[in-house]
Amino acid sequence: MVEPSTSPLLGLDREEIAALVSEVGAPSYRAKQIMDAVYRQRVEDLEEISTLPREFRERLAQSGVTVGAARIEKKFVSQDGTVRYLIAFADGQSVETVWMPEGDGGEAGDGSEAGDLAERFAENPTSDTSRAKALSEENEPIAALKRYATQKRTTRDRTSQNGASQNQGRASSGRSTICISSQVGCAVDCQFCLTALLGVKRNLTAGEIVGQVCAVLKDQKVSPPEDRINLVFMGMGEPFLNYENFVKAARLLVEGVGIAERRMTVSTAGIVPRIHDFGGESIRPKLAISLNAPNDALRTRLMPLNKKWTLEMLMAAAREFPLRTREWITFEYVLLGGVNDTPENARETAELLRGLRCKVNLIALNPGPGIDFTTPSAERVAAFQNILREAGIPAFVRRPRGRDIYAACGQLKRTVEVATLPEPQLQSISPATEG
C-alpha cells in the first residue's frame, strides 16, 4: 500500500507558508500564526495550533499538510551532563544531535565561560598572552579559564527577576550548546572520525536540520531568544556538501526559532568553492575549518578530500573570506598521538596560519572502535598549544564532552549499545581516560 504524500510545515519559510495559506484561501495573518506555532512554540501536531480555527486545521490535514516534527528515538545522558539524542525521521533514517550544558568548554562564541576568554584573547591577544600562558601551566586549565572569564562578568548574564519567574522549572540553559547534523552519515572519510565509517546515506532537508534543534529545545524546556542557546553545525555530515539545505536551515533558525547568527558556527572539512559562496550569504554563522595537518602529505593521509582541495587552495579561501568586525576563523585541529602532534607539526601550523585573523581549537582524539589512532598525552597537547601561543596564535584545548556515551567530537555513529544500560547506570559510567 502506497502511503499518502505529506507536506511538512517544518522547513518552510515565511514566503512559503504565506503561499500555502493563500492556496487554501485563508487570511494572510494565518501565516504568522503557523510560523510562530511551528518554530517558536514547537508544536508536533496540527491539532496543537490552537490559534487556528478547527475547520482550517482540517483543511490543512486533508491537503496532506503535517508539522513534520523530528522524533527523539533514544536519549543517552553522560555523567558530565551532555545528552546524545538519536533523532529518527519518517523514512527510517536517523542522525545524532548533542546537547552540551554550559557550552563546550573551548569554542569561542558558544557562550561558555572558557569561550568568553577565547573571544577576549582573540580580540586583544597581546594583553592576554601572559595570562593565557600562566593558565595553560596550571593543573586545572579549564577551571582556571572559567575563574578568569567570570572575574568581570556583568549583570547582563544574570537572569532578571522577571525572567527567573518565567523560567521556573526549566533546565539550566543560559549558555548551552546544541551540536546538530546536516547529513545521514558523512562522505568526507576523515580517517580519525567514527561518522566516516557510516558513509553517507542522504542529505537532510532544511526541516530535518531545524527539527533537531526544535526537538532538543522542547526536551530541555528552553526557548531562545530568552535563553541564550548556541548552535554548532559539527554533528554528522559535511554541511557544505548539503549547502542549500544548510543555508536555508540557518536562516530559519534565525528568523523562525530566534537564535542569533552570531551564536552559530559551521564547521567544514574544506569544501573550497562553498567557502567562497558562504562568504556572500546575508545570514551567515561563523566559520570553522577542520585543519588537522599543516602539510599536504599528512593532510591527504588523514583527510582524503585534500587531494581535490589542497592546503594552498584552502588557505587562499580562508585569507579571502570576508570577516566581519570582531570575527575570526576557527581552525580545528584533532591531535593524533605520534601522527600530527609533534613540535615540528605545531611550528608548521603556526607558519601556515601566520597573518590570519584566527584561533585554533585543539582536540585530543576522542577514541572509538574502528579508529586506528591513539589519544596523545596531555603533555604533548600542552606543548603543541604553547608553540602556537608563542607564535602569537590563540590556541585553546577543547574539553571533551560526553565521551562515555559516544557524544564527543568525531564519535557520532548512531551507537546504541549503551542503550542496554538503565539510565542511572549510564550516568555513572566513567569517561575514557584522557591522555
Residue type, 6: T
pLDDT of residue 124: 54
Most confident of 118-132, 245-259, 352-366: 245-259
Tally of domains in the chain: 2
Residue 164 forms part of a structural domain: no
Q: What is the pLDDT of residue 403?
A: 54
Residues 186 and 47 in one domain: no
Name the amino acid, one letter, at 430: S
Q: Are strands 94-100 and 176-179 parallel, antiparallel or unpaired?
A: antiparallel
Q: Are residues 58 and 84 in the same domain?
A: no
Evaluate whether residue 158 is within a structural domain. Answer: no
Q: Would you say residue 281 has pLDDT above 70?
A: yes
Q: Domain span at residue 382?
A: 71-152+169-427
Average pLDDT rounded to a whole number, residues 124-146: 39
Check whether residue 105 and residue 25 sit in a common domain: no
pLDDT value at position 20?
93
Q: What is the pLDDT of residue 418?
A: 44
What does DSSP say about strands 286-290 and 329-335: parallel, antiparallel, or unpaired?
parallel
Q: How far apart are CA 330 and CA 234, in angstroms?
A: 13
Q: Pick from 66, 86, 102: which residue ends a domain?
A: 66
Q: What would the grid cell of residue 38 be? A: 511551528
Indicate which residue of 261, 320, 409, 434 is catalytic.
Answer: 409
Q: Find the CATH number of the domain harbouring 243.
A: 3.20.20.70
Q: Is 37 helix (H, G, I), strand (E, B) or coil?
A: helix
Selected residue with higher pLDDT from 190 and 162? 190
Range with the lowest mean pLDDT among 77-86, 222-231, 401-410? 401-410
Per-residue pLDDT averaged across 277-286, rounded? 96
Instruction: Specify whether 208 is catalytic.
Output: no
Q: Are residues 41 and 77 in the same domain?
A: no
Q: What is the band of 122 on the pLDDT scale with cuts at 50, 70, 90?
A: very low
C-alpha cell at 303: 583527510
Using the 3D structure, point to which of 41, 66, 91 is the last residue of a domain: 66
- Whether residues 18 and 137 share a domain: the answer is no
In a shared domain, residues 182 and 115: yes
For residues 31-55, give the mean pLDDT. 96
Confidence of residue 401 (pLDDT cuts 50, 70, 90): low
Do 81 and 142 belong together in one domain? yes
Alpha-helix runs per DSSP H in 24-112: 30-35, 54-62
Q: Amino acid letter at 329?
A: I
pLDDT over 50 (residue 159): no
Residue among 96, 107, 113, 119 flagged as catalytic: 96
pTM value is: 0.79
Which residues is 65 bridged to in the sheet? 7
Q: Tell me, yes or no, if 358 is annotated catalytic.
A: no
Greatest extent of the chain over all pairs of C-alpha atoms, in Å: 70
The full length of the chain comes to 435
176/198 Cα distance (integer angstroms): 28
pLDDT at residue 231 is higher than 80 = yes
Strand order in the sheet with 329-335: 71-77, 83-88, 94-100, 176-179, 229-233, 264-268, 286-290, 329-335, 358-364, 395-397
| Mean pLDDT of the region 246-257 | 98
At 31 the pLDDT is 96
pLDDT at 209 over 90: yes
Residue 169 in 3-state DSSP?
coil
pLDDT reading at 338 higher than 90: yes
